[in-house]
Amino acid sequence: MGMRVIYVDTAHRLPLGNAVEVGSLEELLAQADIVTLHVPATSQTDKLITEEQLGLMKPGAFLINNARGSVVDVEALAKSLTDGHIAGAAVDVFPLEPGSNSETFASPLRGLPNVILTPHVGGSTEEAQRNIAIEVAGKLVRLMNNGSTSTALNVPEAELPNLHPDHHRILHIHRNVPGVLSTMHGLIAQMGVNIAAEHLQSDANHGYVILDVDASHGEQVVEALRQIPETIRVRAIW
Catalytic residue list: 68, 97, 120
Q: If you ran DSSP here, which 8-state letter would residue 39 be given? A: -
Q: How many CB atoms lie within 10 A of CB 78?
A: 19
How far is the CA of 125 from the CAs of 40, 99, 101, 132, 219, in angstroms?
Answer: 22, 19, 19, 10, 46
Q: If you ran DSSP here, which 8-state letter would residue 72 be given? A: B
CA distance 39 to 11: 12
| DSSP state letters, 8-30 | --SS-----TT-EE-S-HHHHHH
Short-list 172, 157, 144, CA closest to 231:
172
CA distance 89 to 62: 5
Sheet of 34-37, strands arranged across: 34-37, 61-65, 86-91, 115-117
